[in-house]
Amino acid sequence: MKKNILVGVTSGIAIYKSLDLVSMLVKAGYEVNVVMTENATKLINPLIFETISQNKVYSDVYERDMDSQVKHIKLAKNADCFVIAPLTANTMAKIVHGIADNLITNIVLAHTKKMILVPSMNVNMYENPVTQKNIEALKERHIVLSPDYGRLACGDYGKGKFPTTERIFEEIESYFVKKDLLGKKVLIGNGATVEDIDPVRYISNYSSGKMGNELALCAKRRGADVKVVCGKVNSDYRKFGIEYIDVKTNEDMYNSLKENFDEADILIMPAAPVDFKVKNKKDFKIKKTENFKNIEIENNIDILKSISEHKKSQFVVGFAAETNSVKDYAILKMKNEKIKIQKGELEIKFPQPQAILYTTYILKLPDQKIVFVGSLKEKKKSKLSLNIAIKELSAYKKRKYLKKINLFKQ
């Protein structure tokens, strides 16, 4: 059954961006109804919202239609999620003080669930002590998105910009996810590290950072406080409010992870740290006419092994990449592994994908047995990893040696 999203639109100058939000929600399969203040209808014709949402737009408490039900009560009850974007300082103040003088504010009083509020206004209006007090009051009951910083419509620079529609959409998606990680702190190592050869060349690993990003987003949706220590990646999810700490080398990543490890409940390491580094790194570019055989390579710090030595009660999930004979190498590494796998730890091993969206996983469980997991689409990876880290360990004794798991039932 489709979720019903009620979008309240007030008369902020960023109102045109709400059109993109409504369009995105419709394309994602949500049933969308739009409610506008009277002043908002003066900025954008309701017909545009009606065309995009494919539903009638409401703006007048006293407008009569064929439905005999009380309009604001019906809209409030039918909404699975009520989003007000943009939210002006005026409507914000009315909500805080319980004033119901238009359709949106009437719906607010009748709506019994947590709302998603998206303030957008001039920087001086936003930073006004009265507005800040109102925001703090709303945060006690609702989800209030912080506006972006940048150039505003009036020409000022500061905090007050309408957030990206992707960020608001993500907040709505997260709204319907069970918050079973609420209060937990999840630390994630992500991306490839880089070790310089000289100022223009370096050693690194292939890593897009997709796995770590999706894990971070999945954990955030489930209520966790997420922090990502991030090396070289193609993209990140900072726009969704996830904290990223940028690092370069193995040592940088290790130091940052160690600094945050004590307060973490879960550490997940899909990072791709470099196994080697240049012992005689140059401060100048090595000319191609010179002898590159003089470059000396030495082992780099094993980040996960070193971090695990400081483990207390944290739940640790590690990753290792293989390119062939995955199962055999997993068993071999299990036998030769110097680090004793303690209760509460899992190691997830996966090779380079045979196709772009597929990867094979092998789990090392504390009883020294291997569970072969099989292939999995990219979009399912994050759900798999977190679910295994949190749930699968407690059930490992019940599993048979090399028992196959149907991932799509996770």
Catalytic residue set: 154
Euclidean distance between CA atoms 266 and 263, whole angstroms: 9
Euclidean distance between CA atoms 382 and 214, whole angstroms: 5
For residue 59, give Cα distances in angstroms to 6, 111, 352, 356: 13, 17, 54, 48
Residue type, 5: I
Euclidean distance between CA atoms 137 and 12, whole angstroms: 21
Nearest-5° Cα angle at 177, 173 to 180 = 150
Contact by Cβ (8 Å): 358, 375: yes
Query: Quick one: three-class SS letters along 70-135?
Result: CHHHHHHHHCCEEEEEEECHHHHHHHHCCCCCCHHHHHHHHCCCCCEEEECCCHHHHHCHHHHHHH
DSSP assignment, residue 238?
G
Please, how many CA atoms are within 13 Å of residue 32, restricted to the half-sphere of its CB? 27
